[in-house]
Amino acid sequence: MSTPEFVQWFREAAPYIHAFRGRTFVIAFGGEVISQGKFAGLSYDLNLLVSMGVRIVLVHGARPQIDALLAVQGLTPRFHGSIRITDPDTLEVVKQAVGVTRADIEAGLSMALPNSPMAGANLRVAAGNYLVARPLGVRDGVDMLYTGQIRKIDTPALHARLDAGELVMLSTLGYSPSGEIFNLTLEEVASATAIALKAEKLIFLTDTPGIMDTRGELLRQLTANEAEAFLAEQPAHSGGDVAIYLPYAIRATRQGVKRAHLISHRTEGALLTELFTHDGIGSMISPQPLVRLREASIDDIGDILSLIEPLERLGTLVKRGREQLEMEIQKFSLLEHDGRIIACVAMNLFAEVSMAELACLAVDPEWAGEGYGETLLRHVETLARASGVARLFVLTTQTAHWFVERGFVPGDITELPQAKQQIYNFQRRSKVFFKKL
């Protein structure tokens, strides 16, 4: 990456850095990340997140490690669906595999070599008996034995460790008040922890790029309802990480987690790409649609200025100062993407002549070509019709074709409302276009 590209990317990442500071992320990954040698790169990215003030809870699995040890001991893995049946012999193997995997992860997070991304990291890892478990019991006539489910999470203890700046690591073992140990599933531990901590994000690292449609294309953004519909359309026998993790991602977003992500552990830097670029690299599930149309308020003026000032410098928009915006803020509507303002428009009403002006239509260049300009145009048309307006007009110097393609026709200055004619800027020589509603 060249210096200008790096600077531009870093500046674009700044809003995310501000937004994530002090937030809690629960990041879950299977034992494949360790067995395939992928954890070193992940540890670099975790260190970076912690240094930015993100509160991290890691949840790790150990399925390949367990299967390898079972094979060594001549034991056959048994599953009910995707859940392991844990008999006493298997439980001993699970404890051993989880312990070794946990030690490998702690070793990776303890690295602090000079001239490496971990230089000066000094990460502190907290682990313990934070999960209270109970037996899963008999399911579909199958006794799950020492396979368990979460009964309670020691949330105050987790918050205390996170408040102290430590990275918390949870394994897939839970403990009962009677001193028994139960084997838990990675997906349940991760989702239940995210819900209990009211986490900002639940992130599953998967063996696929994310949620793929029937054409093999990545679905980058889904609401919980859309993700649920996607699952309903899948064959009952479909497997893989997505089939296992997606129901828990949906559950988490329905119970207070703001975002759930499924991203590939096979792609170097996938975690950072997903978090710090607006397109991301995997699939994100949210409770509601990410794009929201709303009225502007006085608190939005700084963001609106940042959006329109580049267009004002180019002469595309008429210059508006902060004071003018404060007086006209009630005329503005905004489009937000995941809390970030990406487009705006204003409507000036001339009710006495049954006309309205579409003004200050601006879309962040990063989001150009996504149809957000048309969304705002339709919104203004709806507002105008609701106000009894028969004609919509716009003054433009550089975007005439865009409006013509959307039903506007050229007009004359003399057709404008008298109040608009009196303030028409003859130096800009803006063209006038009208659209009947």
- Domain boundary pick from 268, 289, 310: 289
- For residue 333, the model assigns a pLDDT of 96
Burial class (CB in 10 A: 0-12, 13-18, 19+), 214: exposed
| Integer CA distances (angstroms), 302 to 14, 297, 298, 343, 379, in order | 16, 11, 9, 13, 23
Residues 283 and 383 in one domain: no
Instruction: Give the model's pLDDT for residue 354.
Output: 95
Q: Considering only CA atoms, which of 24, 248, 261, 63 is closest in space to residue 147?
A: 63
Q: Would you state the pLDDT for residue 239?
A: 60
- Quick one: 172 and 44 in the same domain? yes
Stated pTM of the model: 0.77
Q: What is the mean pLDDT of residues 416-430?
A: 91
Q: How far apart are CA 256 and CA 266, in angstroms?
A: 29
Instruction: For residue 233, give the nearest of 241, 243, 224 by alpha carbon.
Output: 243
Closest CA to 28 of 62, 61, 64, 67: 61
Domain boundary among 289, 317, 343: 289
Q: Are residues 251 and 270 in the same domain?
A: yes
pLDDT value for 55: 97
Look up the CATH number of the domain holding residue 359.
3.40.630.30
Both 140 and 189 in a single domain? Answer: yes
Q: Are residues 392 and 301 in the same domain?
A: yes
Same domain for 133 and 277, yes or no, is yes
SS3 label, residue 225:
helix
**Distance between CA atoms of 12 and 278, rounded to whole angstroms?**
9
Q: Could you tell me if 206 and 94 are in contact, meaning their C-beta atoms sit under 8 angstroms apart?
A: no
Residue range of the domain that includes 419:
292-436
Picking from 261, 289, 317, the residue at the C-terminal end of a domain is 289
User: What average pLDDT does this structure show over 106-128?
Assistant: 74
Instruction: Give pLDDT, residue 82.
Output: 86
Mean pLDDT, range 265-289, rounded to an integer: 90
Give the torsion through C-alpha atoms of 371, 373, 377, 383, to 10 deg: 100
Reported as a pLDDT band with limits 50, 70 and 90, residue 6 is confident
Q: How confident is the model at residue 238 (pLDDT cuts 50, 70, 90)?
A: low
**Domain shared by 282 and 315, yes or no:** no
Whichever domain contains 254, its CATH number is 3.40.1160.10
* Count of positions (residues) in the chain: 437
* Same-domain pairing of 278 and 298: no
Burial status of residue 195 (CB atoms within 10 A of its CB: 0-12, 13-18, 19 or more): buried
Percentage with pLDDT > 70 across the chain: 96
Distance, in Å, from the CA atom of 9 to the CA atom of 5, rounded to the nearest integer, reads 6
pLDDT the model gives residue 118: 56
**Domain shared by 55 and 204, yes or no:** yes
Q: Are residues 132 and 260 in the same domain?
A: yes
pLDDT in tens, 154-212: 999 999 999 999 999 999 999 999 999 999 999 999 999 999 999 999 999 999 999 99
Co-location of 234 and 98 in the same domain: yes
Alpha helices of 185-288 — where are they, by DSSP H? Answer: 186-196, 224-233, 240-254, 270-276
pLDDT digits (tens, 9 = 90+) for 303-362: 999 999 988 888 888 888 889 999 999 999 999 988 889 999 999 999 999 999 999 999
What angle do helix axes 240-254 and 224-233 make, rounded to 10 degrees? 150
Number of structural domains found in the chain: 2
Amino acid at 189: V
Asked if residue 282 and residue 354 are part of one domain, the reply reads no
**β-pairing, 138-139 with 142-143?**
antiparallel
